[in-house]
Amino acid sequence: MLFNSPEFLIFFPLVVTFFFLTPHRYQWAFLLLASGYFYMSFVPWYILVLIILILLDYSLGRALEKQIGSRRRLLLLTSIIGNLGILFVFKYFNFFNENISVLADFVGWNYSIESLKLILPIGLSFHVFQSLSYVIEVYRGKYPAEKHIGIYALYVLFFPQLVAGPIERPQQLLPQLHQGKSFDYERVMDGLTTMLWGFFKKLVIADQLAVMVDQVFGNVYQAPPAAIVLAVFMFAYQLYCDFSGYSDIAIGSAKVLGFDLMQNFNRPYAAKTISDFWRRWHISLSNWLRDYLYFPLAVSWRSYGKIGSHLALFITFVLIGLWHGAAWTFIGLGAIHGIYLVFADVTKSMREKISKKTGLSSLPRVRAFVQIIITFILVSISWIFFRAQNLPDVWHIVINLGPGIMSLFHVEYVLHSVVTREVLGTTFSFFLLRILAIIFMEIVEYVSRNADSMRSMLLCLPFSARVSAYYVIIIWIFLLGYFDTKSFIYFQF
């Protein structure tokens, strides 16, 4: 059951209605049943994997509070091995098995272990990280073990963020699950407005851009260089609007029910540096890996100085790439961001000198604009690893970026030979409408950047402007939305 499916448009109002009609003391049970049904609507047996994770980490969390010393470390290690072991079997075993087989053939070893015929449960990487977050926080003494197994199960299964985050910490979500919720008109309207904005980003921008991106990346060796360049930058916005659109719908639906989920995006393409980008993109994952992987590695290797911190940073980002998928392209994605960040740190003083010599340091707005453009280009290039099918495709795309950029200056050629239904899968007029939708989105998110919510920003506008904004979004969704129920990209993780 996808958020953008007709089934969800029936499921969600029913859940909201019966949730608020349910006595407070039983609301958790109703939400747990609804969340279980939501997850089983994909593939019913997936729920068994989550039940194993729930029982494992609930039991270990309770045991951690009763043990001291080395036994506590053993319990933590058991949780890490159990969670990552399940993730490895479903997501990574075949990848490593196939690569070991290739290596064995190359050196003449006898290796013949069969690949597993398993389907990756939807959102398993998110579930594992959220479960590990709970156990680690209990181990560190930052949160008490949850005694109510039903509440803990709901912490893992809560349907708004069940399949693609945000990855919540126990301090943020578990106390809310203990509270009874009453209907609150303001919260409901805030939530519905956030959901509407998420649907706009998903249906009007992401799914429409996907038509063009798929056309080019599916025929990358036949596509002209100019089309490749356009597809690379369009995919940057497809990915952002798809994932942040999901997050908005998740955050909004939780808010309608009375729950607050963490912000997962903060205008990432307005970032001035790559490190700034990762403070704005998939914030829950970035924070998770910073707190539970990078900081421990950097502290343990601090005696090695800059080399230790750079190595910790690079390893963290390679694992970010691997978290996204079991493929060399995703490892490349993480590696290139690790290289970006290490390079930025090594060249920081040199870049400051260049900024002063060129006069950019005395022109802060111009400097900020240049930084944003450079960062966006670097991030867009890195997304090639995310979207391409394999490394040869990545190489073909990269070597065509230069010729493609030069081709874009030939406007007549682009209009008549590139932005066509045969090459990009669309006409120029529809291409222009998608660009306008992106500009509209950027303006709205810029204006609302300091507001508590999308609705609070709209409430500051005059009544006529507020109504017009709602009408524009709704009409755009119905007239230009893509209603073929395309899955969210991050569901595969």
Structure tokens at 446: 């810029």
CA trace torsion 153, 158, 161, 164 (10° rounding): 50
Query: Which is it for the CA torsion 298, 303, 309, 310, positive or negative?
Result: negative
Same structural domain, 440 and 315: yes
Higher pLDDT, 354 or 461: 354
Same structural domain, 273 and 199: yes
Same structural domain, 215 and 234: yes
**For the segment 119-132, what is each residue's pLDDT rounded down to a tens digit?**
888 889 999 999 99
What span, in angstroms and rounded, lies between the C-alpha atoms of 454 and 457?
Answer: 5
Out of 183, 213, 242, a domain closes at 183
At residue 105, the pLDDT reads 85
**For the segment 211-252, what is each residue's pLDDT rounded down to a tens digit?**
999 999 999 999 999 999 999 999 999 999 999 999 999 999
DSSP 8-state assignment for residue 223: S
Whether 333 contacts 322, CB under 8 Å: no
Half-sphere exposure (Cβ direction) of 190: Cα atoms closer than 13 Å: 18
Quick one: what percent of the chain has pLDDT higher than 70? Answer: 94
Same structural domain, 66 and 13: yes
Query: Which residue segment(s) compose the domain that 135 sits in?
Result: 6-183
Whether 15 contacts 254, CB under 8 Å: no
Same structural domain, 78 and 192: no
Out of 183, 209, 237, a domain closes at 183
At residue 486, the pLDDT reads 62
Tell me: pLDDT of 174 over 80: yes
Whether 116 contacts 89, CB under 8 Å: yes
**For the segment 406-436, what is each residue's pLDDT rounded down to a tens digit?**
998 988 888 888 888 888 888 888 889 899 9
- Other Cβ atoms less than 10 A from the Cβ of 213: the count is 24
- Reported confidence tier of residue 262, pLDDT bands at 50, 70, 90: very high
Q: Please indicate, yes or no, if residue 337 is contained in any of the structural domains.
A: yes
Catalytic residue among 324, 337, 396, 410: 324
Same structural domain, 162 and 216: no
Same structural domain, 308 and 457: yes
- Other Cβ atoms less than 10 A from the Cβ of 49: the count is 18
* pTM > 0.85: yes or no: yes
Same structural domain, 81 and 113: yes
What span, in angstroms and rounded, lies between the C-alpha atoms of 158 and 475?
Answer: 31
Task: Share the mean pLDDT of the chain.
Answer: 89
Same structural domain, 170 and 194: no
Q: From 238, 166, 131, 236, select the one nearest 489 (Cα to Cα).
A: 238
Q: Decide if 24 is catalytic.
A: no
At residue 447, the pLDDT reads 83
At residue 162, the pLDDT reads 84
DSSP 8-state assignment for residue 113: P
Same structural domain, 297 and 426: yes
Q: Please indicate, yes or no, if residue 160 is contained in any of the structural domains.
A: yes
Same structural domain, 97 and 201: no
At residue 351, the pLDDT reads 85
How many distinct structural domains can be found in the chain? 2
How far is the CA of 48 from the CAs of 39, 44, 124, 148, in angstroms? 11, 8, 12, 20
Whether 483 contacts 6, CB under 8 Å: no
Out of 156, 183, 210, a domain closes at 183
Q: Please indicate, yes or no, if residue 70 is contained in any of the structural domains.
A: yes
Structure tokens at 360: 């950019």
- Reported confidence tier of residue 489, pLDDT bands at 50, 70, 90: low
Q: Please indicate, yes or no, if residue 109 is contained in any of the structural domains.
A: yes
Same structural domain, 311 and 396: yes
Q: Please indicate, yes or no, if residue 1 is contained in any of the structural domains.
A: no
Q: Please indicate, yes or no, if residue 356 is contained in any of the structural domains.
A: yes
